[in-house]
Structure 1
Amino acid sequence: MKLSIGFSPCPNDTFIFDALIHHKIDTEGLTFEVFFDDVETLNQKAFRGELDITKLSFHAFAYVSEQYALLDSGSALGFGVGPLLICHQEHFTQNSGELSAGLKVGIPGRYTTANFLLGIAFPHLTNKQEMVFSEIENALLKDQIDLGLIIHENRFTYTEKGLHKIIDLGNYWEQQTGCAIPLGGIVANRKLDQETKEKVNRLIKKSVEFAFANPRSGLDFIRQHAQEMSEEVMYKHIELYVNKYSIELGTEGRKAIDTLFNMAREKELIPPVQHDIYLIP
């Protein structure tokens, strides 16, 4: 049985899925057609119900929980892994509380969790320009935008380009909630039968465990998609975003996700979620 699966080309995702899609583990009769896309493109594909299995942001998941169920494995949650709000003009860093409403912010997508966190911390920053996450740094350097909301490997490269951090929104979230920050999850289309969905969940867990046991096994695959990243930066990226929550959410992971959804509903940032969001109760 062949299933379509979408995830990002970032090192954390290629690290997680290498063993699965390259059959380094027993895939129990499943094969996968892979679509590599940035997170906002994956969000949009999920809105259209295009893929059987996909990575998406937890913010976007609130809008598609009727179509997709959250797997217990493969998610990206953690401490110290949140998006950063950065700038080119250093004077913006002097008092982040006085950022004026008219400033143009480059964001990696409307439905990213990064944008959701920006909305919580700076609700007045509404002048936003959506762009591919990897283009935000250059847009700042060209003064096409005033502020940039960066995710993924750009956390490790912005200072080398002369850019400056205003605030770590992950730290902001942690201070507000005490929870790990839920960034992205892996979901299965509800049209799949339950046995297949549970099999995929089981296989992703095995794929993550294989990657942890054999961390250099997927190096060529990871490097192939890593956008000229050094090996050191690739593995820093993996260490940040792949952890115990990627193996299984557990009680703490679910608490963080529930907190995110509850806060979003209270602020009327997402519609009410009508279904049990988890594949495994």
Structure 2
Amino acid sequence: MTTGITHPADPAPTGSTGPVPLRIAYSPCPNDTFVFDAWAHDRLPDAPALDVTFADIDITNGMAERGESDVLKVSYAVLPWVLDEYALLPCGGALGRGCGPLVLTREPGTDLAGRTVAVPSERSTAYLLFRLWAAEQVPGGVGEVVVMPFDRIMPAVRDGEVDAGLVIHEARFTYRNYGLHAAVDLGEHWEATTGLPIPLGAIIAKRALGGAVLRRLAESARASVRAAWDDPSASRDYVLAHAQEMDPAVADQHIGLYVNEFTADLGDEGYAAVRALLTRAAAEGLVPPLGPDALAFP
């Protein structure tokens, strides 16, 4: 998976007088390319044009904190730092059950107290879930936390560079190929303790765009999700072109796990999960507290 930023969109024709496309950044992961395929390729007649940037979640989180794009896929964990400038869209993101981050080790039963742990981002939802879990389950805490691109984490654990690694996405399906063991399923822990689905990735858009545009963006994201479900084959080339050597069967598993009813609409349960995560984290002093209307959509 890429760790930098690329701009795959075709350039606008010289002399074009059409509306300026909205800048959007999302990951090259199969769930995002599946969700946004119809929109990014102008197959939704009423959707605004997009200027697409691909970037891994650690980069998009930073972009959100710097206000660098109109629309972004980010970690739910970064919301407390960006909701003054951005609104949470009620669709298009990743939230579900049985899809949480894993903590991997070389040996089963490894005690994580004082151990070095690799994580994909300090602002990621995965790391926030890990910190909430460790506060309860690891007396004395873990040792050094090392941030590294998530595609490097499993090799680093396998090769002994770190004692444990926090992984997301398709690593759920491939970690055994590295001879690793799942020490903790953080999603399973979250579901067992809250009864709620796991909030992972959110779609946010600049409040300055105005309520009418934000509602149009939400409608477009929802329409793109439905178009992908109606004709999964239409997105196949886009998904595999950016999955970077991922086995097509793994890409399909990835999409099946992370694109679900909450992608089409967060609904009451989805919003409850987001509030629960950020309220718990704020109570532990891990994130700033949210205002009462911070998650409200215009």
What TM-score do the two structures reach when normalised by structure 2? 0.89
Paired residue for 2:56, among 33, 38, 46? 38
**What amino acid sits opposite 1:84 in the alignment?**
L
Q: Distance in 1 between matches of 2:294 and 2:31?
A: 23
* Aligned residue number for residue 77 of structure 2: 59
Off by >4 Å, runs of 4+ in structure 1: none
Q: Distance in 2 between matches of 1:278 and 1:117?
A: 19
After the TM superposition, which of the residue ranges 194-203 and 9-18 deviates more from structure 2? 194-203
Deviation of 1:188 after TM superposition, in Å, equals 0.6
Deviation of 1:278 after TM superposition, in Å, equals 3.3
Q: Distance in 2 between matches of 1:276 and 1:50?
A: 24
Q: Distance in 2 between matches of 1:133 and 1:27?
A: 36
**What amino acid sits opposite 2:228 in the alignment?**
A
- Conserved 8 A contact 1:20-1:27: no
- Conserved 8 A contact 1:72-1:279: no
* Aligned residue number for residue 174 of structure 1: 191
1:1-281 to 2 correspondences below 5 Å:
1=19, 2-28=21-47, 30-88=48-106, 90=107, 93-94=108-109, 98-101=111-114, 103-123=115-135, 124-274=141-291, 276-278=293-295, 280=297
Deviation of 1:27 after TM superposition, in Å, equals 3.5
Q: Structure 2: where are the runs of 5+ without partners?
A: 1-18, 136-140
- Conserved 8 A contact 2:279-2:289: no
Q: Structure 1: where are the runs of 5+ without partners?
A: none
Q: Distance in 2 between matches of 1:269 and 1:57?
A: 15
1:135–1:146 CA distance, 2 compared to 1 (3 A): same
> 2:182 aligns to what SS in structure 1?
strand
- Deviation track 1:43-73 (CA, whole Å, cap 9, x = no partner) reads 0000000010000000011211111110011
Deviation of 1:126 after TM superposition, in Å, equals 4.6
Q: Distance in 2 between matches of 1:81 and 1:166?
A: 15
- Conserved 8 A contact 1:70-1:185: yes
**What amino acid sits opposite 2:258 in the alignment?**
Y
**What amino acid sits opposite 2:33 in the alignment?**
T
- Deviation track 1:159-179 (CA, whole Å, cap 9, x = no partner) reads 012111101000000011000
RMSD: 1.3
Identical-residue share of aligned pairs (%): 39
Aligned length: 274
> 1:109 aligns to what SS in structure 2?
coil
> 1:216 aligns to what SS in structure 2?
helix
Q: Distance in 2 between matches of 1:243 and 1:195?
A: 26
Deviation of 1:99 after TM superposition, in Å, equals 2.1
Q: Distance in 2 between matches of 1:268 and 1:254?
A: 21
Deviation of 1:186 after TM superposition, in Å, equals 0.1
Q: Distance in 2 between matches of 1:107 and 1:152?
A: 13
